[in-house]
Amino acid sequence: MRFSIRTLSLQAKISLVLVAVIVPTFVIVTLAENKLTLPVLSEEIRQIGIHSGKTLAARIESGRLLSLSSPTPAIESVMQEILFSQPDLVRVDVLARDPATGGVKVVATNMEDEPGTPPPVATLIDTVLSEYKTDDLGNGYWDVYVPIEHQGRDIRGPRRLLGMVHVTASTNLVARLTDAIWKTQAMAALLSVIILFGVLSYFLRKTITNDRLLRLAESQNLQLTEQLHETQRQLMITEKLAVMGQLTASFAHEIGTPLNAIGGHLQLLKEEIVLIPEAPMNERFEVIQGQLAKIALIVKGFLQSTAKPESQKQLVDPNRLVEKTLGIVAPRIEAMGIEVKRQLDREMGPVRVVPLDLEQVLLNVLNNSLDSIQSKVTIRGGKSAAQRLEVSTEILSHHGRILAQLSILDSGEGIKRTDLKNVLKPFFTTKRPGEGTGLGLTICQQLVQKYGGDFVIDSKEGVWTKVVIRLPYHTSA
């Protein structure tokens, strides 16, 4: 079976990358560390040997041990002290000039050599020497030679060479330390890989689980968004049906008046035809014809308001739409005896909106204004001469934007300051139970904001309420 990295899981791929990075790094770091550590440690052993030799030489010279009749015990006693404090020293020899032969003899040593073994150096030296060597087993050591000199009282005078100290310092400790470092690093690297694999596996599992949960949450969020849009659409339909219910009542009331008039004139016409055949009929027919024309206009306006909505944006004249909407609620306005004041900017150009959206907003706001005025009249009892409705349009600059502003001001009962901040929230209403859904103003705000506009309400309790609709206005439109 052919091996392919592409077929491996993400965790296996990351594991391979870790091995490929950690193992070479471990090898390189260890080799570099050995290259740097070995010379330093070896030099440290050499310095130990030199220091020990100098210490022994200084104590022999200061104690005049070589001038004793039997210097060996005294020198070996000092030698043992130094060997006890420096375990890396494997051999120490003290050599002095032999007066009898003129050569060099071993005065004291810590090693028992076989008979006939030559001394380490055949001649005395007057300077410190050191040399790195290896024995037959490959073990390294330093051979150090330190002179024993006698210094007179005059420091500048000549020095007399008394002998020398030979020290052998083993570097086995260096080898053991290097081996320990290597093993420690190997264990640390292995432990690091195991820990990294464990931590990586844990976080990978967490990441995969979180990714699945995130995808599931995104899917659920998408479904909830779709449900929210569907709910908003249903709410808009519900609010429109509520508005249309009010229109139907107005429609029935308005159409009933001309129908009653037509019925009365038809009854009179019937009686006149029977009783007075020669009576003029033109006046009756003109009245009936006028009432029928009025019914036709009412029905036409009602059908236009319930027609299938246009879903595409169009260039709409705000003034014309205001007049049309006022015409729809005209029966209520006339029945309540409300004075309508228009302040329309006739030079205003069109705005680009879906016609029914803006019409729904205006219709909802106007009906709320009429409800507020009617509620105020009901509370006070009878009609008030101050009943009025002001509708205005204008072009203004607001926060650096050119906007088309439509304002509707009514003299109704107003809104409490504590309620004013909540009137745009869904299902909040100031009307009595059964008179409002609490969705009309919320939907109006959503429709206006859909075009990047503003929907603002201000009010003074018991005096007035003003609704401002601002829509983006493009002079090129």
Alpha-carbon distance 281 to 259, whole Å? 19
Beta bridge partners of 162: none
pLDDT at residue 335 in the model: 81
pLDDT at residue 426 in the model: 73
CA proximity to 408, closest of 458, 447, 446, 451: 458
CA proximity to 392, closest of 322, 343, 457: 343
Alpha-carbon distance 461 to 367, whole Å? 18
Alpha-carbon distance 356 to 316, whole Å? 10
User: Consecutive sets of 10 residues in the chain, 477 residues long: mean pLDDT of each?
Assistant: 62 70 72 73 87 90 86 88 86 85 82 63 81 85 89 62 89 78 75 76 79 87 85 71 62 59 64 64 64 66 56 86 86 85 91 87 88 80 70 88 92 86 74 61 86 90 90 73
Amino acid of residue 101: T
Q: What is the pTM of this model?
A: 0.41
CA proximity to 161, closest of 127, 120, 121, 131: 127
Alpha-carbon distance 347 to 351, whole Å? 13
What is the fold, at CATH topology level, of the domain defined by 308-477? Heat Shock Protein 90 (3.30.565)
Q: What are the domain boundaries of the chain?
A: 5-110+121-151+158-170, 308-477
CA 423 to chain centre: 34
Question: How many degrees, rounded to 5, is the angle at CA 53 between CA 48 and CA 56?
Answer: 125
> 411, 339 in Cβ contact below 8 A?
no
Alpha-carbon distance 163 to 104, whole Å? 8
Contacts of 14 (CB under 8 A, 6+ apart): 200, 204
pLDDT at residue 139 in the model: 84
Residue where the block lists tokens 């392919």:
4
Alpha-carbon distance 394 to 68, whole Å? 127
pLDDT at residue 278 in the model: 60
Instruction: Name the CATH code of domain 5-110+121-151+158-170 (choices 3.30.450, 3.30.9, 2.60.40, 1.10.10).
Output: 3.30.450
Alpha-carbon distance 307 to 303, whole Å? 6
Alpha-carbon distance 243 to 76, whole Å? 121
Name the phi and psi angles at 36, rounded to 5: -85, -35
pLDDT at residue 115 in the model: 59
